[in-house]
Amino acid sequence: MAKKVVDGAARQRRRPTRQGEVLSHELIVETALRMLAEHGAQGLTARRLGLALGADPSSLYRYFRGMDALVLAIADELMGRALAGWTPTGQWRRDLRDLGLRIHRAYLAHPQAAVLTASRVSGGERELAADEAILGILHRAGFTGPGLVRVYHVFIDGCLAFAALDAASLALPAAARAADEEIWQDTYAALSPRTHPHIAATAPLLAARMTRSAYPDALDMLIAQAARELPPATR
């Protein structure tokens, strides 16, 4: 059964933790991000988080209904970091591209957290702010109704899908990631034109490109296609 979460100032811990810090929502999320970076999703438990905070694990439930609620808070925090300092220019293509790259970068800065949260919908304040910003950009560009929602859907799902894919690669042990990248050189480049003519013809280009994210190009393609779907007068 989920425990009751205490709202507002009432959930402020009166005594400092063993590390001398006052427990807070922000401190818990920041510590959880650090634990994910060090130990991965399997290492994020209430017991370990309590130890890292120098607090009784049960005190976490004054801030979160459970560990899944903490995961959603982490997702909301990543989205907030993407929005930090962002100011729209009024040029919809530029603003949409900038937001997409910001979200992607914010998730890749915390690969283990990105793998855990990219598929989640937090409904948090920062996620709502990001969605409002994206929909506002599209509305001002001239998109309306189902067409607006279609572009928004492809945009945000594409952004988070690439974030999850690229973060999963970054979250691999360094040796495994290096081995994957070497396959483009050691395996693909060695294929015979007789058995794999198309791979052999493009092997050098594949080796040069396939170890970096395709997201910026996918984003540019999406924006270019979306622009073509605007009414002529709006374009």
- pLDDT band at residue 22, thresholds of 50, 70 and 90? confident
Q: Return d(Cα 77, Cα 127) in angstroms, integer.
A: 8
Q: Where are the domains of the chain?
A: 8-65, 75-229
Could you tell me if 70 and 122 are in contact, meaning their C-beta atoms sit under 8 angstroms apart? no
Is the pLDDT reported for residue 1 higher than 50? no
pLDDT at 231: 80
Structure confidence by residue, pLDDT tens digits, 115-169: 999 999 999 999 999 999 999 999 999 999 999 999 999 999 999 999 999 999 9
pLDDT at 152: 98
The CATH architecture one would assign to domain 75-229 is: Orthogonal Bundle (1.10)
The position carrying tokens 């952004």 is 159
Q: The pTM is what?
A: 0.87
| CATH code at 8-65 | 1.10.10.60
Mean pLDDT of the chain: 91
Phi, psi of 120 (to 5 degrees): -100, 155
| Structure token pair of residue 24 | 């807070």
Q: Which residues contact 122 (CB under 8 A, 6 or more apart)?
A: 72, 73, 75, 76, 79
pLDDT at 147: 95
